[in-house]
Amino acid sequence: MPHGLTHAFSHFLRRSRRFRHFSRHPLQDAFAGHGAKTTGHTDVAQNLLLIARDDPDAAITRMKSHPEGLSKREAAARLARHGPNLVEHQKPLPWWQHLWHCYKDPFNLLLTVLAIVSYSSNDARATVVIGMMVALSTAIRFAHEHRSNRAAESLKALVSNTATVLRQAQRDIPFAKLVPGDLVLLSAGDMIPADCRVLGARDIFIAQASMTGESLPVEKFAEWRAEGTGPFEQSNLVFMGTNVVSGSATVLVVNTGPSTYFGALAERVTAVDFAPNAFQAGINSVSCLLIRFAAVMVPIVMLINGLSKGDWFEAFLFALSVAVCLTPEMLPMIVLPPWLFAHAQCGLARLDYGSLKPRRHSA
């Protein structure tokens, strides 16, 4: 299929909210190795399999760590080399792109066309009124969306997660400061902060349905058991994005941030062009219906008026007034409050992994 037709068909599927029936799930692509970083993810999987086959002491040696954990200097050097333990998340648009998205509403575009036609017909009053409606609706939407985005970012900054780490001594540090080679202590209710190798376990069960789809918790062990060829089939590996149901364990951090499987999934999910939500799709459908109705009625009114009176310029002005009357100029501002509520929910949903979980406290 030519590229132009493919792009048009993809746009039609997104507008009609049927794109999910034709696209691959990001989880399938990430685990199958598709995408720009296929070689990197293959190397990560091979490294995990090698560490899974090592005994605990050999795994610690492979990661250049120590049984008592990393020192502060080693942790700082690795943090500078590998970066923070954060996954990709949807970044806010620049203000000029945000302003354009606030403006390009079907009604705003129609009102802009009507303002241009009114200006060309020397109707200054209609031009000013319609222009003010477009400017006000765009400005109010932009201001409230910006405020909701700032509120979501402030909430994300207030809430954080910590992990109990052995660094010469037991201490709680934020997830973002974990580095490969850290020794993490896990207990019931904890989230797995990175892709790790289990060094010691005591009846620990991990819920990893978000990664593998398994409905029941899976028991993990310190020793390697030849149960499969993939990383998710290894009984001594745990992954970011899963959580501890029961038991306790000591794990060795192997991969952090974008190098984890959860990071690869988040990177692909944030690259997806999300379709409008149900409320936005409903408003757009009503807008398109009214626009089509105006596109049919205006020529008919102009034709009938012109044929009956013989003054085509007057018929054009009358048809223009009919188009203005058929267009509810205040509709963008009337539907603004519920739309902003939905947008605020979307802003909160963009919080990165673990930001809405309660902070851990040491016993």
**CA 205/CA 243 separation, integer angstroms:** 9
Residue 123 predicted with pLDDT over 80: no
Q: What is the CA radius of gyration of the chain?
A: 29
According to DSSP, the residues that pair with 65 across neighbouring strands are none
Residue 184: pLDDT over 90: yes
Task: Please report, as a single letter, which amino acid is at residue 28.
Answer: Q
Mean pLDDT value across residues 33-43: 49
Average pLDDT value for residue range 93-102 = 84
Query: CA–CA separation, 124 vs 136, rounded Å?
Result: 18
Q: What percent of the chain has pLDDT over 70?
A: 73
Q: Between 4 and 362, whose confidence is greater? A: 4
What does the pLDDT read at residue 354?
A: 41
If you average pLDDT over residues 162-182, what whole number do you get? 89
Q: Quick one: residue 275, left, alpha or beta (phi over 0 = left, psi -120 to 50 = alpha)?
A: beta
Mark out the alpha helices in 16-123 (DSSP H runs): 26-32, 38-53, 56-62, 72-82, 95-103, 106-120
Q: Name which residue leads in pLDDT, 268 or 186.
A: 186
Partner residues linked to 173 by β-bridges: 163
Specify the pLDDT at position 182.
93
pLDDT (0 to 100) of residue 15: 57
Quick one: which of 236, 320, 258, 267 has its CA closest to 83? 258
Q: What is the pLDDT, as a whole number, of residue 310?
A: 84
What residues does CATH 2.70.150.10 cover in the chain? 10-89+163-270
Query: If you average pLDDT over residues 113-130, what whole number do you get?
Result: 82
Half-sphere exposure of 318 (CA within 13 A, CB side): 16
Reply yes or no on whether the pLDDT at 106 is more than 50: yes
Higher-confidence position of 193 and 8: 193
The confidence band for 4, taking pLDDT boundaries of 50, 70 and 90, is low
pLDDT of 284 higher than 80: no
Which tens digit of pLDDT belongs to each residue from 290-318? Answer: 788 888 888 898 899 888 888 888 888 78
Q: Quick one: pLDDT at residue 37?
A: 43
Phi/psi at 275 (nearest 5 deg)?
-80, 160
Please give the Cα distance from 29 to 268 (Å, whole number): 8
Is the distance from CB of 164 to CB of 132 less than 8 angstroms? no
Q: How many CB atoms lie within 10 A of CB 66?
A: 16
CATH number of 10-89+163-270, picked from 3.40.190.10, 3.30.1330.40, 3.40.309.10, 2.70.150.10? 2.70.150.10
Tell me: the pLDDT tens digits for 48-93? 888 989 899 999 999 999 988 898 899 999 999 988 888 866 677 7
Report whether pLDDT(204) > 90: yes
Chain segment 136-153, per-residue pLDDT in tens: 888 888 888 888 888 877
Q: Tell how many helices (H) and how many strands (E) occur in the chain.
A: 14, 7
| Measured distance CA(134)–CA(329) in Å, rounded | 8
The mean pLDDT value of the chain amounts to: 77
For the ranges 50-54, 135-139, 224-228, 250-254, the lowest mean pLDDT is seen at 224-228
The pTM of the whole model exceeds 0.75: no
The more confidently predicted of residues 62 and 279 is 62
Q: Token match 């299929």: residue? A: 1
List residues bridging with 191 in a β-sheet: 243
